[in-house]
Amino acid sequence: MKYIIPTVALLLLLGCSSEQQSTQETQEPSKGLVETLQTKASEATQQVGNSVKEGVEAAKQTTQDAVESVSKTAEEAQQQIVETTQKMSNDLQQATHDVKQDIAQATQEMANDIQETTQDIQEAANNTKAEFNAAATFKRKCASCHGATAEKSALGKSQIIKGWNADKIISALQGYKDGSYGGAMKGLMASQVSSLHTDEIKALADFISKQ
């Protein structure tokens, strides 16, 4: 009996010592595992943070590149619009200049044509005047009734026109022509002067006034 109790006590001490040692051995690997997990978690967190940071930087760069690309495209488009507008303005100015030159040239040509035509008309009028022979006309139209020097009364009914001045003769001849002058000889004289124009009447009146 005296040996049993000490033996049991010894066994209990050995058991406790063994359990304490086993607990200590179990705790030590657990502690190392926790530290390892913490280290790995820290590394993983750091790696994720780095990845996120790199992703953010990449996104910023991509955004910046896109903005620069859009800005460059907008600048190029604006420059193209400016160049196109300038070209259109230059073309319009050139076209306007050409039209003005064409108009000026056409106007000058028309003026030259008008001047030439006027000269031709004037020459024709001068030639007509030169061709009109007052003496021959008087002899053909007037002398048979008024006498060779306008000294007779036509058919004994008209006034003697010898000695009239040119203005009085012109007024009478124009009056016969438009029907505003004349007596008994009005109808006959109207037929005689109807073919004469103003310059011819003046020339004939001038000739008669000098008889």
Find the CATH number of the domain harbouring 188.
Answer: 1.10.760
Kindly give, in sequence order, each residue whose CB lies less than 8 Å from that of residue 200, ignoring residues fewer than 6 positions away.
Answer: 132, 134, 137
Predicted TM-score (pTM) of the model is 0.41
Compute the radius of gyration of the chain from its Cα atoms: 68
Residue 59 has pLDDT above 90, yes or no: no
CA distances (Å), origin 2, targets 8, 11, 13, 77: 11, 15, 17, 111
Q: Is the dihedral of CA 15, 17, 19, 25 positive or negative?
A: negative
- Judgement on whether residues 102 and 154 belong to the same structural domain of the protein: no
Determine phi and psi for 197, rounding to 5 degrees: -90, 175
Give a yes or no: residue 33 inside a domain.
Answer: no
Give a yes or no: residue 27 inside a domain.
Answer: no
Give a yes or no: residue 200 inside a domain.
Answer: yes
Estimate the crossing angle of helix 198-209 against helix 166-178, to 10 degrees: 140
Give a yes or no: residue 173 inside a domain.
Answer: yes
Residue 209 has pLDDT above 60, yes or no: yes
Q: Which long-range contacts (CB under 8 A, 24 or more apart) does 135-140 make?
A: 135/207, 137/196, 137/200, 137/204, 138/204, 138/207, 138/208
Extract the tokens encoding 61: 């760069």
Q: Is the dihedral of CA 181, 182, 183, 186 positive or negative?
A: negative
- Judgement on whether residues 78 and 112 belong to the same structural domain of the protein: yes
Q: What is the pLDDT of residue 11?
A: 56
Give a yes or no: residue 44 inside a domain.
Answer: no
Domain endpoint, select from 102, 131, 160: 131
Give a yes or no: residue 57 inside a domain.
Answer: no
SS3 per residue for 129-148: HHHCCHHHHHHHHCHHHHCC
pLDDT-derived band at 16 (thresholds 50, 70, 90) equals very low
Give a yes or no: residue 196 inside a domain.
Answer: yes
Contact 161, 169 (CB under 8 A): yes
CA distances (Å), origin 13, targets 8, 9, 27, 208: 9, 6, 21, 185
| Residue 11 DSSP SS3 | helix
Number of structural domains (the chain) is 2
Domain extent at residue 102: 65-131
Task: Give 166-203 pLDDT, tens digit per residue.
Answer: 999 999 999 999 999 988 889 899 999 999 999 999 99
- Judgement on whether residues 69 and 97 belong to the same structural domain of the protein: yes
- Judgement on whether residues 176 and 115 belong to the same structural domain of the protein: no
Task: Give 102-155 pLDDT, tens digit per residue.
Answer: 757 756 776 776 576 556 556 655 555 558 999 999 999 999 999 999 999 998
Estimate the crossing angle of helix 4-131 against helix 198-209, to 10 degrees: 30
| Residue 1 DSSP SS3 | coil
- Judgement on whether residues 115 and 158 belong to the same structural domain of the protein: no
- Judgement on whether residues 169 and 196 belong to the same structural domain of the protein: yes
- Judgement on whether residues 113 and 80 belong to the same structural domain of the protein: yes
